[in-house]
Amino acid sequence: MIKTWKSSIWHWFADWSFLAVVAFVGLLSSSQHVWADSPLAMRASTVTVTLRAKADCPSNVLLLSDMVELQGSDAIVHQIAELPLAPAPSMGSKQTWSRSSIEKMLQLRGLASEAIRWKGANECEVHRVDGVRAKKFDSNAPKGAMDALVEMPVIHQAQYTQVGTAENSIKPPSVDRTKFTAPFTTPVTLSVAERFASEAISNYLQTKTNSNGRWIIKVNIPSEYAGLLSQRAKILGVAGGQPPWEGDQEFQFLIKGPNGEQSIPIRSVIQLPEMVVSANRPLAKGYVLKEEDLDWIPFPPGAKFGADDCFKTVESLVGQQLRRSMSTQQVIRMNEVGPPTLIQVGDVIQVEVISGAVVVGTQGRAIEFGGMDDLIQVEIEPNRNRVLARIINEKTVEVVASSGRSSSSKSKTPNASQTKTIR
């Protein structure tokens, strides 16, 4: 009897041990499968990037595939090939992209620099051309692992049903909503709804592109949905849109409405921010800029000035002198630089007074600083009369006396900060 009892316990223990081992092996296999499909596993793969020396861009948006050829995992290649990098150069102009500039863009998309193997040229010169961009990748190709991670579920319109059997289910009567205006929608409500919708779309685009990029987003909110979208907690999800995520786009918002979850269309205009020139390291006031001191960055959102106040090309800033100190990644505005200073305040300078073919030289003292071709105030010795003179070289200015007007009358013009020549 005791022997039979011990045998039963032994068989029970063996059966449960076997089931535990099977469960552990299954869990380990599942974990390995998840890890193989994770973004980190993709980033561990190597991508060969062959940079062309010259490239033509037929669109107003420059894509990565315009400048490079990619070799590697199909999932990664399809994920990054059609990435929008920046606005394309205007017709007749060019942009120059280095390997480091492209590598920074890829790092923003989650591709580590260690995973990139470079080939080809060190720089690519991009020209804008007329035409249509050829389709290089099959839109029906399998999606990458990162796309699968952010894919939104299929959204269904909430159904209105009566309590009872399936035969009693009814649909709401169709109503022409275009004839109605939401009764409690105010400009403030609409403004808040637009802000929340823009934030939701921005976060969605960052997830889809695996970047922290900033877009200029203008949304068109139907008035009947303004009240719901003005409550952040009512927005449950976003789907839709098409790469390269620029121009007119239509997104689907999953919202929590009065009759349950429902999907509503939201049309938006997406723009890439303009690229402007910034300092790539701290620079002191009076420093004369060099090409290696400058970098391109997207125009910062929320700036109190416009992109037209900034420089669009690095070449236009080389040789200019800073009128104020700069920090890393700070955008340089046009009124913050000028020609290198040739004359300082208090300098004894040579003043040439020109009247027709007669040139008279005398000495004076600078009241303001300035660079080549700047207009500054000068005191003529020994009477200390002030005149407005143009700097023609180091320590020399000229005053052109016109008939019927005294040169000293020009001293009433705006001060040097208003008369500096900006290049």
What CATH number is given to the structural domain containing 406?
2.30.30.760
Domain assignment of residue 403, given as a range: 341-419
Non-local CB neighbours of 338 within 8 Å, separated by 6+ positions: 320, 321, 323, 371, 374, 420, 421, 422, 423
pLDDT at 180: 65
Nearest to 68 by CA among 15, 120, 11, 3: 120
In angstroms, rounded to a whole number, what is the distance separating the alpha carbons of residues 161 and 165? Answer: 9
Residues 282 and 315 in one domain: yes
pLDDT at 155: 38
- Which residues have a Cβ under 8 Å from the Cβ of 113 and sit 6 or more positions away? 103, 106, 107
| 242 domain residue, yes or no | yes
In a domain, 163, yes or no: no
Asked if residue 214 is part of any domain, the answer here is: yes
What are the pLDDT digits (tens) for 182-202? 666 778 888 888 889 988 998
Tokens matching residue 347:
């300098």
**How many angstroms separate the CA atoms of 404 and 350, rounded?**
25
Regarding whether 251 and 295 lie in a shared domain, the answer is no
Separation of alpha carbons 311 and 401, rounded Å: 36
Partner residues linked to 240 by β-bridges: 251
Model pLDDT, residue 102: 86
Shared domain check, 73 and 89: yes
Residue 37 confidence (pLDDT): 42
Ranges of residues in the chain whose predicted pLDDT is under 70:
1-45, 134-173, 177-184, 211-213, 401-423
What's the pLDDT at 182? Answer: 64
Would residue 238 count as lying in a domain? Answer: yes
> Nearest 5°: CA angle at 164, between 161 and 166?
65
**Contact assessment for residue 422 and residue 334, using Cβ atoms and an 8 Å cutoff:** yes
Of 338, 370, 392, which closes a domain?
338
Considering the domain architecture, whether residues 325 and 352 belong to the same structural domain is answered as: no
Last residue of a domain, one of 246, 272, 298: 272
Q: Residue 151 falls within a domain, yes or no?
A: no
In a domain, 127, yes or no: yes
- Domain match, 346 and 414 both: yes
Shared domain for 370 and 390, answered yes or no, is yes
Last residue of a domain, one of 244, 272, 300: 272
Can you give the pLDDT at residue 402?
A: 59
First to last CA, the chain: 106
Q: How many domains does the chain have?
A: 4
Instruction: Decide if 178 is inside a domain.
Output: no
pLDDT at 141: 47
Examine the domain organization and report whether 233 and 311 are in the same domain.
no
Same domain, yes or no: 331 and 357: no
Residues 257 and 282 in one domain: no
The verdict on 354 and 406 lying in the same domain is yes
The CATH number for 287's domain is: 3.90.1210.10
Amino acid at 21: V
**pLDDT number for residue 32:** 43
200, 241 Cβ separation under 8 angstroms: no
Nearest residue to 198 (alpha-carbon basis) of 217, 184, 180: 217
Cβ-contact 228, 266 below 8 angstroms: no
Same domain, yes or no: 230 and 282: no
CATH number at residue 104: 2.60.480.10
Q: Does a structural domain hold residue 143?
A: no
